[in-house]
Amino acid sequence: MGPDPAVAAVRLAVRGVLADLPQGGMILAACSGGADSLALAAALAFEAPRAGRSAAGVTIDHGLQDGSGERADAVVRTMAGLGLDPTGSVAVTVDGPGGPENAARDARYTALSEAARRLEAVAVLLGHTRDDQAETVLLGLARGSGTRSLSGMPSEFRRRDVLYLRPLLGLDRATMRRACAAMGLEPWDDPHNVDPAYARVRVRHEALPALEKTLGPGVAEALARTARMLRDDADALDDIAARAYADLEAAEEGYNAAVRLDGLGNLPRAVRTRVLRMAAVKAGSPPGTLAAVHVDAVDRLVTAWHGQRHVDLPGGLCAVRRYGKLLFGPV
């Protein structure tokens, strides 16, 4: 008799990403102790030795709640009991710009990347599910921040030169719960996950259920599918824009970045605005605060030029039209 269907589904998802990785090298599971990452850690502990690989586990103690250190220790013991070796916890300090969610994310990824390099891990596995993807798409839709935001979370990405993989994006959160129950694992429910002060929590417990009630079941799956298709589109447009930027890139003394105007205005808007964003980021404008409203204003220097002086950009920069070029540099 085989494993519970939920357990089999999680193991199959992990087996698939392991097969695509270069032979040898440790795989690191990031585990918070919640159902999603706990099911992931258990699947990795099962699949890694069968693939001839070693597997480790790490949990991040954000220190945001009383008793967080004791909970982190409990997660470490659970991971070790599953067979992950080594296992450990890393305490981080959550501060910085962008609010508590953004600061916690930055601190978490910094700690995970350092752990991966220390263990010489070839990849870090994250436990985000299809439900997380649907929530991300709705949050992106609310921000009105374009195709890249609506494309949700990638199944793989690099951060600080470390490869991160999300093998569970095709599975829902309920499957993770069933898998944990079938394996006798008791996940920890983070109280932050039901705190309506967080936008993601409101989407999870209010917006998505309302959509399911109004439109019928399958909304989360449809949103995740849409994200996957939009990511393909966004990747293709980014590639075209990168080639266009390389063709139009220029130099101008005293400016951090410049692009020639000849040919820029003839590009499709979807490509042109990406080129302008690339130039602004290269000049030093922070990607996290460079918004569509800024890029649109720069675009008007190209398509609706009436002698405007310049456009202010985040990071103490500006864009100005001069000498047949669009120039990006300090104000």
| C-alpha neighbours within 13 Å on the C-beta side of residue 208 | 25
What is the spatial distance between Cα 166 and Cα 156, in angstroms, rounded to a whole number?
A: 6
pLDDT at 198: 84
pLDDT at 99: 66
Model confidence pLDDT, tens digit, residues 248-267: 999 988 899 999 999 999 99
pLDDT at 74: 95
| C-alpha neighbours within 13 Å on the C-beta side of residue 230 | 20
Cβ neighbours of residue 121 closer than 8 Å, sequence gap 6 or more: 25, 26, 27, 28, 56, 115, 162
Q: CATH fold of 5-223, please?
A: Rossmann fold (3.40.50)
Mark 188-208 as b/e (b = at least 16 C-beta within 10 Å).
Answer: eebebeeeeeebbebbbeebb
Residues in the chain, overall count: 331
**Domain spanning 251-330: CATH 3.40.640.10:** no
pTM (two decimals)? 0.84
pLDDT per residue rounded down to tens, the chain (331 residues): 789 999 999 999 999 999 999 888 899 999 999 999 999 999 999 999 999 999 999 999 887 777 888 999 999 999 999 999 999 999 888 776 656 777 888 889 999 999 999 999 999 999 999 999 999 999 888 877 678 778 899 999 999 899 999 999 999 999 999 999 999 999 988 887 888 888 889 999 999 999 999 999 999 999 999 999 999 999 999 999 999 999 999 998 889 999 999 999 999 999 999 999 999 999 999 887 888 899 999 999 999 998 888 999 999 999 999 989 999 999 8
Give the residue from 25, 55, 33, 26 showing the smallest Cα distance to 43.
Answer: 55
pLDDT at 67: 81
DSSP conformation class of 265 = T
Tokens representing 32?
């918070």
Domain ranges of the chain: 5-223, 251-330
